[in-house]
Structure 1
Amino acid sequence: MRITILVCGFVSILAISIMILSCSSSETESLMWDAENIGRSLDQKPFVPTILNSNLGKGVNRISLGMFDDGQPIGGLEVEARIFQLGENPESNPSDAILIDQKFFNPVSLIPIGPHAHSNESSHSHVHDGAEVTVYIAYFDFVNSGRWGLALNVIDTKNDEVYEDLQISLFVHERTSEPQLGEIPPASLQALVSDVNNISEIDSSLSPNPDLHNMTIKEAIELPQPTLVAFVTPGFCQTKFCAPTMEYVVNPLYEKYGNKINFVHIEPFDLKRARSGEGLFPTKVVTEWNLLSEPFIFLLNVKGEVSAKFEGIMSLQEVELELEKLLFN
């Protein structure tokens, strides 16, 4: 027998007023998780909620949620989610769901870099859209693989609007494709600055830092100190956040902690083939780590185990917070 657990949420955050998003047992039980009802919950809404993770796995996940209006991410929202474990077949039994938890999603923003030249196109500069881009982050421990659902309550602070029970479904695998928390990742042997004629062969940054290419992942894992591994491609961004990730996250952390932890930068794509116009082909290390997207940052503890990982848009503050935990532990 399935028992529906009710959690009524309190959302406060507006500077001018405090709003309470309440829920009742009947409202919770009325949610249906088939495709038709999920689609209906999003009808006539000014944005579409989208899970941005390349994949989710059983255990603790950093869930990245985007709210899109005509393909553009929307900021200035306050997002609360009720998290449901769904039955095996929502289409035939859409009401089969257990309310497991309730989470607030914290906004994380990056500003795409303005006029700049990529190392693969140094003859000219161009502009990425400089508008601040926001995603919403929450950490949740999926105790089981299978189908899950989020029922979102969203406050639009700019327009003073509230939207309730926006539903999205997701699938949680037995494990993520990339290394999981607590695992020791592959001891990869990437090319170092000492292996190439020019650092541009292994780094697409406009001003590459050779200190990020002096140590293999294998060496970093074997050393008794924490490690930051950054899979970032400033020159061939597919998500337009690789360059900001290097400039606003990796480089500042290196300046502050470069003498305390190991830093390793990996280009996700074969730069020679990318620059020749052949296309974007993952490097051997990306294949070994089974990454499905970029940018990706992993923090490893002194045992070489993954202690934290960040995919897509991330802030300096959230990465530094986890890095500080490593140093103090």
Structure 2
Amino acid sequence: MEPKLLGPSLILLTLLFAACTRGPAATPAASQEAPVTFYLVSTDLAVEETRFAFGLIGPDRTMIEGARASLRFIRGSQVVLEGEAIYRSVAIRTPHIHPGGEVHLHIDTRGLYVVDGVKLDTPGEWNVQARVTLPDGSGPYLLEQDVIVKGKSSTPAIGNPVPPTRHKTARDVSDLSQISSSEEPIPDFYRVSVAEAVEGHRPFVVVFATPAFCQSRLCGPVLEIVAQTIPSYRERVEFIHIEPYDLSLIRGEGRVQLVEATVQWGLPTEPWVFVVNGQGRLVAKFEGILALEELEGALKKALAGGT
């Protein structure tokens, strides 16, 4: 059985391993000795086309940027898919105020590695092997992790209709701070609800993010990336931001409670970005960090009516 090569939509793929059977795995001892740890970012793996995301951490627990990582996805003893990951990153800007009142930005970078178009076609346990060469040229190191693939994702599946969620928009509040934790909410994000976008038969983007209360610190940067596309697409695409938590409770009582939209969309984490076509069917979904070119590629596909 020959392993399948993933489609080249967002990544360049090469033949990484000659054999189609599972090769020697990294032993626990070898994994412990390697100066890098492989960890899974994708939390909603299922039998559908998936954007497979993972991170690499060094011995000092810091993120490793710019490594070369090749993956193979193994079911039983067969290598089913293989591909090369692309590193995606966002800049996190934190204002720092000096005693004299001067303000400057601290810039931190967060990133992850992505293999796009992964189709794990059988539910159950899979083994993922990562062949990693570090930025300093050391390696390659062979790492592995077992993952569980569900029969159905908790979030909407690619190609399926999305939940026609009704939620508050700018028309329902006296101030956008009631439905947004952004320091400066962008009005375009609060014009229509998901239900209205579906009924209007226009492509749309939904961002589930909470800039002020995000556990990963990625919500603000991800929302900013989506906002960068608004000027070019606002005449053809609706943009929607939904806070995943009840803001009145988290602000008033410090209590975290999911809003109904978060439950309807089955979100296991935040932030998430979904791109939907004019027929209300999901074209793409991104968990955590996404690159501007990834989003624009999905928007073009949605405008063309594809899934």
Q: Which residue of 50, 67, 72 corresponds with 2:56?
A: 67
The answer on 1:136 being equivalent to 2:113 is: yes
RMSD across aligned C-alpha pairs, in angstroms? 2.7
In structure 2, the CA distance between the partners of 1:153 and 1:277, relative to structure 1 (3 Å rule), is same
**2: CA distance between counterparts of 1:262 and 1:71?**
39
The answer on 1:101 being equivalent to 2:81 is: yes
TM superposition shift of 1:115:
1.0
- Which runs of 5 or more residues in structure 1 are unaligned? 9-19, 87-96, 118-123
Q: Please show how residues 195-214 of structure 1 align to structure 2 within 5 Å.
A: 195-214=172-191
**1: CA distance between counterparts of 2:106 and 2:189?**
28
The answer on 1:192 being equivalent to 2:186 is: no
Q: Please show how residues 216-235 of structure 1 align to structure 2 within 5 Å.
A: 216-235=193-212
Give CA deviations for 1:270-323 in whole Å, capped at 9, x if unaligned: 111111242221111001111111110101111100010001011111111111
**1: CA distance between counterparts of 2:201 and 2:129?**
43
Give CA deviations for 1:185-231 in whole Å, capped at 9, x if unaligned: 11111011111122101011111122211211111112222111111
- Which runs of 5 or more residues in structure 2 are unaligned? 6-13
**1: CA distance between counterparts of 2:20 and 2:238?**
53
Give CA deviations for 1:37-72 in whole Å, capped at 9, x if unaligned: 4x3341111121111012211010101110012432
CA contact 2:73–2:129 (8 Å) conserved in 1? yes
Match of 2:11 in 1: none
In structure 2, the CA distance between the partners of 1:164 and 1:58, relative to structure 1 (3 Å rule), is same
CA contact 1:151–1:167 (8 Å) conserved in 2? yes
CA contact 1:74–1:133 (8 Å) conserved in 2? no
In structure 2, the CA distance between the partners of 1:116 and 1:313, relative to structure 1 (3 Å rule), is farther
Match of 1:89 in 2: none
Match of 1:30 in 2: 24
Match of 1:120 in 2: none
Identity %: 25
Normalized against structure 2, the TM-score is what?
0.87
Secondary structure, counterpart of 1:169 in structure 2: strand
CA contact 1:113–1:127 (8 Å) conserved in 2? no
CA contact 1:226–1:326 (8 Å) conserved in 2? yes
Secondary structure, counterpart of 1:322 in structure 2: helix
Kindly tell me the number of residue pairs found equivalent between the two proteins.
292
**2: CA distance between counterparts of 1:24 and 1:309?**
32
Shifted more, 22-31 versus 258-267: the winner is: 22-31
CA contact 1:79–1:153 (8 Å) conserved in 2? yes
Match of 2:10 in 1: none
**1: CA distance between counterparts of 2:86 and 2:196?**
35
In structure 2, the CA distance between the partners of 1:286 and 1:116, relative to structure 1 (3 Å rule), is farther
